[in-house]
């Protein structure tokens, strides 16, 4: 009997008004680095990497922006937000170059998990990015 195939997370593709600004944001705020650029003839696709996380940046200049805010869009078929975990939320947010474009929070969720705090920020294209500290899974 053969073992079942296991799927591993690959990446998230982001449509960008300005690929350079989006790349700079994820590099400067979250430590991503450029892993590869693929030319499709009339456009370039930029791949960023931070550890095992990959982002794929597509040029969407001239396309209308999606409506967002708060903790992200709520309609089906849309991504609500990307999320990153940090050890010290306040220190991390304070160190964001140029300041954080906060869309919601920071909020405390101590009533659910003691020490769980979150803030949501906008990336250059209006994608909501959650930054959180203290989340833990439920005990088994």
Q: Are 68 and 82 in contact (CB under 8 A)?
A: no
The pLDDT of residue 61 is 82
The pLDDT of residue 1 is 66
Residue 36 CA: distances (Å) to CA of 52, 56, 140: 14, 9, 40
The pLDDT of residue 107 is 96
Upstream peptide bond of 106 is cis (omega within 30 degrees of 0): yes
Q: Are 40 and 58 in contact (CB under 8 A)?
A: no
The pLDDT of residue 71 is 73
96-134, pLDDT tens digit by residue?
999 999 999 999 999 999 999 999 999 998 899 999 999
Contacts of 9 (CB under 8 A, 6+ apart): 52, 53
User: Rounded to whole angstroms, how far apart are CA atoms 16 and 62?
Assistant: 10
48 by Cβ neighbours in 10 Å (0-12 / 13-18 / 19+) ranks as buried
The pLDDT of residue 82 is 92
- 65-140 adopts what CATH topology? 2,3-Dihydroxybiphenyl 1,2-Dioxygenase; domain 1 (3.10.180)
Mean pLDDT by 10 residues, the chain (140 residues): 76 90 96 94 91 91 76 73 94 94 95 94 92 91
The pLDDT of residue 116 is 95
The pLDDT of residue 133 is 96
User: Rounded to whole angstroms, how far apart are CA atoms 29 and 96?
Assistant: 6
The pLDDT of residue 76 is 62
Q: Are 16 and 28 in contact (CB under 8 A)?
A: no
The CATH number of domain 8-64, selected from 2.40.160.20, 3.10.180.10, 3.30.360.10, 3.30.2020.30: 3.10.180.10
Residues of the chain with CATH 3.10.180.10: 8-64, 65-140
Q: Please state the separation of Cα 70 from the chain's center in Å.
A: 14
The pLDDT of residue 22 is 93
């Amino acid at each position: 009997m053969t073992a079942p195939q296991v799927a591993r997370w690959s990446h998230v593709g982001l449509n960008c008004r300005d690929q350079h600004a989006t790349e700079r944001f994820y590099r400067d705020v979250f430590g991503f680095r450029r892993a590869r650029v693929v030319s499709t003839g009339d456009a370039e696709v930029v791949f960023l990497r931070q550890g095992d996380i990959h982002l794929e940046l597509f040029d969407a200049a001239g396309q209308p922006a999606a409506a967002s805010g708060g903790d992200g869009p709520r309609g089906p078929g849309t991504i609500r937000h990307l999320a990153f975990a940090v050890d010290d939320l306040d220190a991390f947010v304070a160190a964001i170059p140029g300041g954080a474009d906060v869309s919601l929070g920071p909020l405390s969720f101590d009533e659910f998990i003691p020490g769980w705090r979150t803030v949501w920020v906008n990336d250059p294209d209006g994608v909501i990015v959650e930054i959180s500290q203290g989340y833990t899974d439920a005990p088994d």
